[in-house]
Amino acid sequence: MSRYLLLTVLTLFSHSLLAATPIIEIEIRDHLFYPAEITIPADTKIKLIIINTDNAAEEFESYEMNREKVIPAGSKGVVFIGPLRAGEYPFFGEFFPKTAQGKVIVK
Amino acid sequence: MLLNAVIIILREVIEASLLISIFMAFCQTYNVSRRWLILALAIGLSTAALYAVNISIVSQWLDGVGQEVINASIHIMVYLVLLVFLTLAMTIKTGRNRPLIMLVMLIGVTFASIREGSEIILYIHGFVGIPELLPPVLMGGVIGAGIGLSVGVLFYYLLVNLSSKHGAQLGILLCLCVAGGMILQATQLLSQADWIASQYPLWDTSMWINERSVIGQLLYALVGYEATPMPIQVISYISALSLMIMSAAFSYIHSSRPQS
């Protein structure tokens, strides 16, 4: 029993230690996302690094992915997304929603 | 831009406004001093300004998820405040715990105003350098804040003017609504920070009430509505509210027993 428990614990930890989380960078410039579309594999956790080069703060928001984070002006922020099922997940900048639009395509 | 500002500010103001109206109505009904409110708002809003100014530094803490962890802690703190408040409020007729209740309300409003205030400051501040957008954003902000405060005032008068039984029932219900919203937001932030593992949603109600809609946004602010909650969010929500109900019920039964 305890051996199984140990095995389970080790499996859980090795998974999080060995499988390095892929990193994708998104830049906010002139209230637009670059790139505005990113493609990621299904069932995978991704670390987004969002770099805001504007003079105004922006809020990275996605209802579909349940994500919401203020990225300060001239700064950057980390947002983990996924694992997600295949499909399209729009995101937008809540402070400048007219221009700042993008989506995550999960394949 | 104007409508966007109205919604953003309304969503921030309504949570704090509701919390304050519950506490104010409680003070009015049970004759508790309300002087603590000014102190709570003063500490809360000045800390909010400090937080907003240093947001870039905070964001870099804990490998880039400092903001999530601090905000989640604030949400959990407001939940704990509501848990303790509701438990102590059940003993109000015994006359004990009054100073403690005031302290708890002070802490609650302080933390709520740090969270909501900093978000508003960050949002408005971004438009200071954009002269053509600043007026509509300020105008929208004033309207949003006005609606948010009006909702608070409405609930205040409703709570104060209902019979004591129904007022107490509505007050408890509102406490549970706000508390549930706090727990939901905290779990969402911790999953975004990868402090708790992200899970596939348990259900999807976005075809009935979309989170983008005005109703969805209001429900989000009032009860923490989430169209696609993760299992851990649903479990936390139910556990947190059950704990509050049990704690309040226990306190009520205990305090209404004749003292020997």
pLDDT digits (tens, 9 = 90+) for B117-130: 999 999 999 898 88
In this prediction the pTM is: 0.91
CATH (one of 1.10.1740, 1.10.3470, 1.20.1250, 2.60.40) for B2-256: 1.20.1250
Q: Around Cβ A58, how many Cβ atoms within 10 Å?
A: 26
Q: What is the distance between the alpha carbons of residues A107 and A84, in angstroms, rounded to a whole number?
A: 9
Residues of A in contact with B130 (CB under 8 A): 56
Q: CA-nearest residue of chain A to B62? A: A78
> Chain B interface, mutation test: which of A21, A45, A60, A63, most B Cβ atoms within 10 Å?
A63
The whole-angstrom distance between A59's CA and the closest CA on chain B is 9
CB contact (8 A) between residue A66 and residue B206: no
Domain ranges of chain B: 2-256
pLDDT digits (tens, 9 = 90+) for B199-230: 999 999 999 999 888 889 888 888 889 999 99
Which of these, A82, A92, A28, lies nearest to A56 by C-alpha position?
Answer: A28
Ordered DSSP codes for B145-202: HHHHHHHHHHHHHHHHHS-HHHHHHHHHHHHHHHHHHHHHHHHHHHHHTTSS-----S
Greatest CA span in chain B, whole angstroms? 70
Residues of B in contact with A51 (CB under 8 A): none
Helix (H, G, I), strand (E, B) or coil at B28: helix
What size, in residues, is chain B? Answer: 260
pLDDT digits (tens, 9 = 90+) for B163-192: 889 999 999 999 999 999 999 999 999 999
ipTM, two decimals, is 0.87
pLDDT digits (tens, 9 = 90+) for B5-22: 999 999 899 999 999 999
What size, in residues, is chain A? Answer: 107
Residues of B in contact with A98 (CB under 8 A): 1
- Cβ proximity of B155 and B15 under 8 Å: no
Which domains can be identified in chain A, with CATH numbers? 21-106 (2.60.40.420)
- Quickly state the pLDDT bin for A18 (edges 50, 70, 90): low
pLDDT digits (tens, 9 = 90+) for B96-110: 889 999 999 999 999
